[in-house]
Structure 1
Amino acid sequence: MSPPIQLLSPEIINLIAAGEVIDSLAAVVRELLENAIDAQATRLTVSVFPELWQVMVADNGRGMSLDNLRHCAQAHHTSKIFDLDDLWKITSLGFRGEALFSIAQVGQLTIQSRDATNDSNGWLVNYNQQGEMSEESTAPMAPGTIVTASHLFGTMPVRRQGLPTFSQQLKAIQGIVENLSLCHPQITWQVHHNKKSWLSISPGKTSQHILPQLLKRVHFNDLQFLCETVITPSHEQAKIEMVLGLPDRTSRGRLDWLKIAVNGRVVRSPQLEQTMLAGLSRTLPKGRFPVGFLHLIIPPSEIDWNRHPAKTEIYLKSLEFWQERVTEVIDKALKLSPITISTGEQNQRVKKLLKASENKGVYNLGHSESNELELIQLRAVGQVNQTYIVAEHSHGLWLVEQHIAHERILYEKLQDEWQLIPVQQAIILTQISLKQVEQLQRIGLDIEPFGDNTWAVRNVPKLLENREDCPDALIELSLGGDLESAQVAVACRSALRNGTVLELSQMQEILNNWKKTRNPRTCPHGRPIYLPLEESSLSRFFRRHWVIGKSHGI
């Protein structure tokens, strides 16, 4: 049975930063969907008729009794908080008791509902602009609720004229549905625009099953899902869920799909967004941005929701603690470990190759997934074109490009041990500008005039100490960027070149050092380092599952 809807006390009303929350069709949809999710709905249907200024949301939640229906649209009436203490332990999406009241003020509100546990039939109630019941009648229906808001802003022509265009409001509605579907992956979503199906999202176990439905070029195996349980500074249990686009598999041309949610709602948190970007630094090509969804499920006492009428801005206590935990989860997601590598992760180019072979043959390409690798033991067995190290493990083999694998090793070593050492004989640079001189000074080099348009450099990064091309490397460092860019440039120039013949022992050393790096999937420029050729794929390609007689034409 749904809890009773009651009037909040004046003391609580004065503490809640309410403000105007219904300012568009999208705002109506947002509030109704949050109420439906609070009612434990697992199936939601949204119907939008922009030209009619009408929105309808139907759910299969627990519904409302007639008594609750009579009070639900009155100002400051809610079933989600009852006293002052409840403000500090909010677990619902909607709690201020004014969403339905605000909708009634700007349009015609009708609610049809049946209590899932108590009523044998449903009720239909109309409300006036004060949120008071104006008419009620019985209505046959399944348990759940259908809310219809019509003629929105009809008595406010000036307000209508100031609203975003219909296309902009539809885009906002799409964003609301997508965000909620990521936070609540167990829900089935159907969205209709003028009676035509517009958006459909199937349920899944985690947000890893949802995100590929929202981004059509992103596949399930392009993503890594991790869920970590943590203990907060106040000694309470919390959970961090993260879906991360693996940098060697997917990225975006702009920073538009890095989302952060707290307790079931996507919020704006510039600090956590920067933490995620920092954790993925130097894993993607220049001009590319990560795909990621972070969901913190934390004790209500850690949050203050009363920062914004739409509840999209929050105050998160112990921010540094959460930033540290998020960084740890990102590090774990990027490593080559039994948690993040499985034989089900097939390179897309290999899949296409197998599919093409399947089309020409008479055998089928299976789609079963194997168990995760128990250990990632890579053994160097050879070199291809003096460029790729062939690494064998118990589930197949990988091709590892030697130059960029070594570049990743050196870059992270430089990050941890950036060291400038003095040189016995100064390195002379000519024909460089004052801007280039300032850049070298900015990254810590000791450089001083040494004649007409000539400069002497007295110290260099340790990796460049004995290189014949050290002057060229310094020129490269002078051309711009911060210390991180300088470290990338030094690592790239210092890494062994493709075309270099390696002994097996040298290949093994590179593999051992590379697989222990923090971000082994891509080089600092964002290029993928390895190509997996798993045993299950090789077996299918060479048709080793055929019986001997069949393969010999018997």
Structure 2
Amino acid sequence: MSLIKTLPPEVVNLIAAGEVIDSLAAVVRELIENALDAQATRITIALFPEIWRVTVTDNGQGMALSDLRNCAKPHTTSKIKHLDDLGKITSLGFRGEALHSLTQVADLSISSRCATEDNNMGWFLHYNAQGEPQSQKPISIAPGSIITVDNLFGKMPVRRQGLPNISSQLKGVQTIIENMALCHPNITCKVLQNERIWLNLSPGKTAQHILPQLLKRIHFNDLQFVEQEVENFPNSKIELLLGLPDRCHRGKADWVKVGINGRIVRSLVLEQTILTAFSRTLPKDRFPVCFIHLQICPSQIDWNRHPAKVEIYLNSLDLWQDKISQIIEKGLILSPHNLSVMAQNERVSKLLKVSEAKGNYQVNSQVSDESGLIELKAVGQVNHTYIVAEHSNGLWLIEQHIAHERVLYENLQDKWELEQIKTPIILTKLSSEQVEQLEKIGLEIDRFGEQNWAIRTVPKLLAKREDCQAALLELSLGGDLQTAQVALACRSAIRNGTEMNLSAMQDLVNKWKNTRNPHTCPHGRPIYLSLEESSLALFFRRHRVIGKSHGI
């Protein structure tokens, strides 16, 4: 007797549906993607988790009656038509599985009106488990669609019982919506839970306008947005949204996100590239806030790897790693574009511009030096600790020790130099682990007697220091080469309390502002405090006088 038999169609459909629709979040994901593909700009999501119902309303193109009759049948889609289309996918959905899968695991009904048809009438259809219309009737509706999924997993009670609790599922829904909003900042999105507003996201030009709505402790000014075209890749660009490391960071890597062509994806390689780019800019055990959005030619991507389309094959992965590292470095430099504080306070900006036009109050735009970085002029020192640096829109207080530490650390990264010394330095009672550590960072070390060790090469920064022996003992206590470089930079940097003349201060400021990560020291401490002209005008209430004198 044959043991291998063909499964009944209803079993096959249920198995396939379980791969696509496995939670409330999956329902929301699929319906949002359909709305975005229909060019919707407003999406409303109504959740009734206790009764397993989801309704998604959009103002997209809608569907004609003929499309409504076919849209829930298996493998029906308007996104692709031929095999070759799999290599040029520009839509979020393309498999034609989502709506049919919903008919397998829930009750599905759709109300829709096609925006391109002249009549003012839409249609309501309810579908059976085969995805065929069970009933239909004309209705009065605005252009767009209303899709209702009811009694989710009612046909699969074991699946429903095995799902996480409602709170966990809603967290999954929230993540889906947050990811959608970052990738599509122009969308207005409202989420209701049991008819009460849960999320209400306003649209913006970029993800920089969206993230502060999602993370309430992060403000617009804490973020930096950069975008650039990608050479040799037509119609490709990278968008970067990063939290400035001296202003915001997280206790876990939950806001290190990668988006590709409008969808957040999982890419351990690209996520690790982001984390590496922020190395030694954040405090210990803290992680960056960073969103990278790659807009790439569809031929470079294979989406057909995972039912939820969150895992992909990406061609030229090494190239994209390099591009991501470069744009993060670009986003961290101290350029006037990155530090345009005047644009962050529109009211003060307008007041000062009016005053400037009247000739009574001079306001300069940010000035850059020859390298394109903000121009800073050292004008003094406070408590032999802080350098006061003036620029065209205010002044900064720069802590001299950690600014110098950042300079030295990056120099050591770029050129780790060891120097042969005439008289070896003797260290006693080193453990085998300490000896191994000194060898690991490149030092030449030999046994010199029973419990003594002779160090014959030392880092160049230490060669002429009186505390070289103590520094070597510190370096022997563990960590990789990077840790050793941080310790060496910290020990060798100018101490707070050291008096500096203007020339030395200016030299340090110039070197510091040219570093790759000038916002924080290698331990993650902020290096400078900004006092911008707009903030000073607000504090001293000069804008009120300006406004009154100019009729504002």
TM-score by length of 1: 0.90
Residue aligning to 1:362: none
Residue aligning to 2:367: 374
Tell me which amino acid in the other structure corresponds to 1:189. C
Q: Quick check: 2:343–2:349 contact (8 Å CA) kept in 1?
A: no
Q: Quick check: 1:55–1:149 contact (8 Å CA) kept in 2?
A: yes
Tell me which amino acid in the other structure corresponds to 1:373. Q
Residue aligning to 2:66: 67
Q: Distance in 2 between matches of 1:280 and 1:328?
A: 12
Residue aligned with 2:292, SS: strand
Q: Distance in 2 between matches of 1:422 and 1:345?
A: 53
Deviates more, 1:179-188 or 1:24-33: 24-33
Q: Do residues 418 (structure 1) and 411 (structure 2) align? A: no
Residue aligned with 2:340, SS: coil
Q: Quick check: 1:339–1:372 contact (8 Å CA) kept in 2?
A: no
Q: Distance in 2 between matches of 1:380 and 1:29?
A: 55
- Superposed CA deviations along residues 180-220 of structure 1, whole A, max 9, x for unmatched, are 00000011111111111111111111000000111111000
Residue aligning to 1:143: 143
Query: Cα RMSD between the aligned structures?
Result: 2.0
Q: What residue ranges of structure 1 are gaps of 5+ in the alignment? A: 1-16, 352-364
Q: How does 1:138-537 map to 2 (within 5 A)?
A: 138-232=138-232, 235-344=233-342, 366=348, 373-375=366-368, 376-537=374-535
- Superposed CA deviations along residues 56-102 of structure 1, whole A, max 9, x for unmatched, are 11111110000000000000000000111211110000100010000
**Percent same amino acid at aligned positions?**
63
Residue aligning to 1:50: 49
Residue aligning to 1:39: 38
Deviation of 1:254 after TM superposition, in Å, equals 1.2
Q: Distance in 2 between matches of 1:244 and 1:462?
A: 35
Q: Distance in 1 between matches of 2:541 and 2:120?
A: 60
Tell me which amino acid in the other structure corresponds to 1:289. F
Tell me which amino acid in the other structure corresponds to 2:173. I
Residue aligning to 1:110: 109
Deviation of 1:437 after TM superposition, in Å, equals 1.2
Q: Distance in 2 between matches of 1:460 and 1:434?
A: 19
Give the direction of change, closer, same or farther, for the CA distance of 1:268–1:372 in structure 2 (3 Å limit). Answer: farther
Tell me which amino acid in the other structure corresponds to 1:168. S
- Superposed CA deviations along residues 405-425 of structure 1, whole A, max 9, x for unmatched, are 111111111011101111111
Q: Quick check: 1:43–1:60 contact (8 Å CA) kept in 2?
A: yes
Q: Quick check: 2:17–2:105 contact (8 Å CA) kept in 1?
A: no
Deviation of 1:372 after TM superposition, in Å, equals 5.8
Deviation of 1:479 after TM superposition, in Å, equals 1.2
Q: Distance in 2 between matches of 1:62 and 1:544?
A: 51
Q: Distance in 2 between matches of 1:495 and 1:540?
A: 36
Give the direction of change, closer, same or farther, for the CA distance of 1:206–1:372 in structure 2 (3 Å limit). Answer: farther
Q: Distance in 2 between matches of 1:47 and 1:531?
A: 45
Q: Quick check: 1:231–1:237 contact (8 Å CA) kept in 2?
A: no
Residue aligned with 1:44, SS: strand
Q: Quick check: 1:410–1:495 contact (8 Å CA) kept in 2?
A: yes
Give the direction of change, closer, same or farther, for the CA distance of 1:409–1:18 in structure 2 (3 Å limit). Answer: farther
Q: Distance in 2 between matches of 1:541 and 1:166?
A: 47
Q: Distance in 2 between matches of 1:399 and 1:93?
A: 48
Q: Structure 1 residue runs of 4+, over 6 Å off?
A: none
Q: Distance in 2 between matches of 1:318 and 1:414?
A: 31
- Superposed CA deviations along residues 340-367 of structure 1, whole A, max 9, x for unmatched, are 1123388xxxx9xxxxxxxxxxxxx947
Deviation of 1:23 after TM superposition, in Å, equals 1.2
Residue aligned with 2:20, SS: coil
Tell me which amino acid in the other structure corresponds to 1:272. L
Residue aligning to 1:81: 80
Number of aligned positions between the proteins: 516
Q: Quick check: 2:17–2:101 contact (8 Å CA) kept in 1?
A: no
Q: Distance in 1 between matches of 2:315 and 2:544?
A: 60
Give the direction of change, closer, same or farther, for the CA distance of 1:121–1:545 in structure 2 (3 Å limit). Answer: closer
Q: Distance in 2 between matches of 1:198 and 1:46?
A: 10
Residue aligned with 1:344, SS: helix
Give the direction of change, closer, same or farther, for the CA distance of 1:475–1:311 in structure 2 (3 Å limit). Answer: same
Give the direction of change, closer, same or farther, for the CA distance of 1:226–1:455 in structure 2 (3 Å limit). Answer: same
Tell me which amino acid in the other structure corresponds to 1:402. Q
